[in-house]
A and B are shown apart, each in its own frame.
Chain A
Amino acid sequence: MLPVDHLEEKLALIRAGDNRAREDLIEAHRLFICRAAAKVCGRSLEWDRDDEVSIGLLAFNEALDRYDAGRGVPFKAFARLIIKSRVTDFLRRENRHTSHSGISLDQGEDYKTTSIENWQAWERHLEEEAARERREEIAEFQRVISGLGITFDDLVRSSPKHRDTRSNLLAMARQLAADDELFNQLMSTGKLPVTALSRLSGVGPKTIERGRRYIIATSVIWRHCEDFLHLCSFIKPPGKENGTP
Chain B
Amino acid sequence: MKGRAVILETKNGVCTVLTDQGDFRKVRMRGDLLPGQVITLPESRWRAGRVLLVAAVLLVFLFSTVLWKGLVSPAVAAYVSLEVNPAVELGLDKDGVVREIRPLDPSGEDLTAGLELKGVPLAQAVESIISEAVKRQYISSGEGNTVVSTVTPVGDFNPSELDRQVRETVETSLRGQGVAARVLVGQASAEIRDKAGKEGISTGRYMLFLEASEKGIQVDPEDFRSKKIYSIENDRKIKFQDLRVKVEKDSPDLQDGGQVDNRNSRDQDRPGDGPRGNGAPSPDKDRDKVAPGREKKSGPEAVEGPEQPARQDQRGKNDKKEDAPPAERGKGAKTGESSQPQPGKAGE
Q: Which residues of A contact B (CB under 8 A)?
A: 72, 131-139, 141-142, 152-153, 155-156, 158-161, 163, 166-167, 170, 214, 218, 230-231, 233-236, 238, 241, 243-244
- Report the separation of the CA atoms of residues A244 and B19 in the bound assembly, to the nearest whole angstrom: 11
Q: Tell me whether B8 and A138 are in contact (CB under 8 A).
A: yes
Q: Tell me whether B25 and A156 are in contact (CB under 8 A).
A: yes
Known: A138-B8, A230-B6, A231-B6. A166 touches B36 (CB 8 A): no
Please, which residue of chain B has its CB at the minimum distance from the CB of A73? B38
B window 3-44: CB within 8 A of A: 4-6, 8-9, 16, 18-26, 34-38
What residues on B are CB-neighbors of A218 within 8 Å? 22
What residues on A are CB-neighbors of B23 within 8 Å? 159-161, 166
Please, which residue of chain B has its CB at the minimum distance from the CB of A162? B23
Q: Tell me whether B36 and A131 are in contact (CB under 8 A).
A: yes
- Report the separation of the CA atoms of residues A238 and B9 in the bound assembly, to the nearest whole angstrom: 25
Please, which residue of chain A has its CB at the minimum distance from the CB of B37? A131
CB < 8 Å A-B pair total: 73
What residues on B are CB-neighbors of A230 within 8 Å? 6
Kindly identify which residue among B16, B19, B36, B37 contacts A152, using a CB–CB cutoff of 8 Å.
B16
Of the A-B pairs whose beta carbons lie under 8 Å apart in the complex, a sample of 27, sorted by A's number, is A72-B4, A72-B38, A131-B34, A131-B36, A131-B38, A133-B36, A134-B6, A136-B36, A138-B6, A138-B35, A152-B9, A155-B16, A155-B24, A156-B25, A159-B22, A159-B24, A163-B21, A166-B22, A170-B22, A218-B22, A234-B4, A234-B6, A234-B18, A234-B19, A234-B22, A236-B22, A244-B20
Known: A152-B9, A156-B26, A234-B6. A134 touches B18 (CB 8 A): no
Chain B residues with a Cβ closer than 8 Å to the other chain, count: 20
* Besides A155-B16, A234-B22, 18 other A-B contacts (C-beta < 8 A): A131-B34, A131-B36, A131-B38, A134-B37, A142-B8, A142-B9, A152-B8, A155-B24, A156-B25, A166-B22, A170-B22, A214-B24, A231-B18, A233-B20, A234-B4, A235-B18, A241-B20, A244-B4
What residues on A are CB-neighbors of B34 within 8 Å? 131, 135
What residues on A are CB-neighbors of B6 within 8 Å? 134, 138, 230-231, 234
Kindly identify which residue among A159, A167, A243 contacts B25, using a CB–CB cutoff of 8 Å.
A159
Which secondary structure dominates chain B's binding surface? strand
What residues on A are CB-neighbors of B38 within 8 Å? 72, 131, 134
Q: Which residues of B contact A (CB under 8 A)?
A: 4-6, 8-9, 16, 18-26, 34-38
Q: Tell me whether B35 and A135 are in contact (CB under 8 A).
A: yes
- Report the separation of the CA atoms of residues A152 and B5 in the bound assembly, to the nearest whole angstrom: 14
Which secondary structure dominates chain A's binding surface? helix
Counting chain A CB atoms within 10 Å of each CB, the highest count among B9, B20, B22, B23 belongs to B22
Distance in Å: Cβ of A126 to nearest Cβ of chain B: 13
What residues on B are CB-neighbors of A167 within 8 Å? 22
What residues on B are CB-neighbors of A161 within 8 Å? 23
- Report the separation of the CA atoms of residues A15 and B36 in the bound assembly, to the nearest whole angstrom: 29
Distance in Å: Cβ of B60 to nearest Cβ of chain A: 23
What residues on A are CB-neighbors of B16 within 8 Å? 152-153, 155-156
- Report the separation of the CA atoms of residues A139 and B5 in the bound assembly, to the nearest whole angstrom: 16
